[in-house]
Amino acid sequence: MELTCKIPALVPACVMLCVTLCGDPALALHSGLTDARRETVFSRDFLNDYQSAQNEVRASKSAEPMLRLLEKYARSEERAELELSIGIIYGQRPGLVDPAKAVTHFSKALQYELPEKTSIEILLWRGSAFEQLEKPERALMDYLRGLLACSYHDLSGESKDIKRPNVDCDIRSDDPTQRERACDYRIYWDRFELRRFLIDKRFYFVEGAKRIRSRLSFTDNQLRTLLEELTPDTSRYDLIVNLVNTRPSRQDAEQSHPPEPAGGPASNKEPSPPAR
């Protein structure tokens, strides 16, 4: 698969690599849905209507413009994006917050096949909405779902900061070795970014689960009973219960974020985070 680039030639190679390989974040919208080339799966008509509806929501202080799009678009990726976006409006938009409606639309979004990171984010948002609705056990279930998802990833590792490549790599090069190295570095960057994201979300899932466990006075056995409803994988039960019993390190979550400075492979600075 040939990788193309529309970034100006003056952009540092390492930064351009990340933008090229990660795609245009504006086109990913909230769902993060892209095709195999990391390009948008949405039609130009959908993108135009979506942006117009978002502008109308801001101007009218109403979710109706986005809700109307549900009547127009029927493809699964379009429905997933719209349900998630409407959930975010009802969950976060000042003046429009309605936790019950947020839960409804987040739940509909979760019925579609979304990127794992997106699904994990939704679980955190829906859990928060359940808490606002005074449904602590429903919130706890979402936080446990999030912890289960995180538990299947290795979040260990020495590095807290993203590292620049050990060798020169340039996606623009005519040298196939350079392009192959760029793909190798992309794999490292993607894994680092996923690890950063999961450490961050795990912290909030643990905090939420601890908060509700204390409120409901749940025992370890009661937590295990809830986990049994979520998964038959018995290897997860003690692991998740132990996480909830320990105090999460906010420092780990904060230090896992990539630094801001940009620089190429030969620079002493770290490369800038990829556009998402």
* pLDDT for 9 beyond 70: no
Residue 34: phi, psi to the nearest 5? -140, 165
Q: Write out pLDDT tens, residues 164-178.
A: 888 888 877 878 888
Q: Write out pLDDT tens, residues 90-133.
A: 999 999 999 999 999 999 999 999 999 999 999 999 999 999 99
What is the structure's pLDDT at 159? Answer: 61
* pLDDT for 152 beyond 50: yes
- Distance between alpha carbon 174 and the CA centroid of its chain, in Å? 34
The Cα 247–Cα 245 span in angstroms is 7
Sign of CA dihedral 62, 63, 64, 65: positive
Tell me the CA end-to-end span of the chain in Å, nearest whole number.
Answer: 21
What is the structure's pLDDT at 252? Answer: 52
* pLDDT for 221 beyond 60: yes
Is the overall model pTM greater than 0.85, yes or no? no
Q: What is the DSSP string of 183-218?
A: HHHHHHHHHHHHHHHHHHHHHHHHHHHHHHHHHHT-
What is the structure's pLDDT at 5? Answer: 32
What is the structure's pLDDT at 274? Answer: 35
Helix (H) or strand (E) holding 21: helix 13-22
What is the structure's pLDDT at 268? Answer: 39
What is the structure's pLDDT at 230? Answer: 97
Ranges 13-17, 49-53, 55-59, 80-84: which has the least confidence: 13-17
pLDDT band at 158 (very low <50, low <70, confident <90, very high): low
Ranges 47-51, 158-162, 202-206: which has the least confidence: 158-162
* pLDDT for 269 beyond 80: no
Helix (H) or strand (E) holding 81: helix 76-92
Nearest alpha-carbon partner for 114 in 149, 141, 88, 76? 76
* pLDDT for 1 beyond 90: no
Mean pLDDT of the chain, nearest integer? 81
What is the structure's pLDDT at 36? Answer: 77
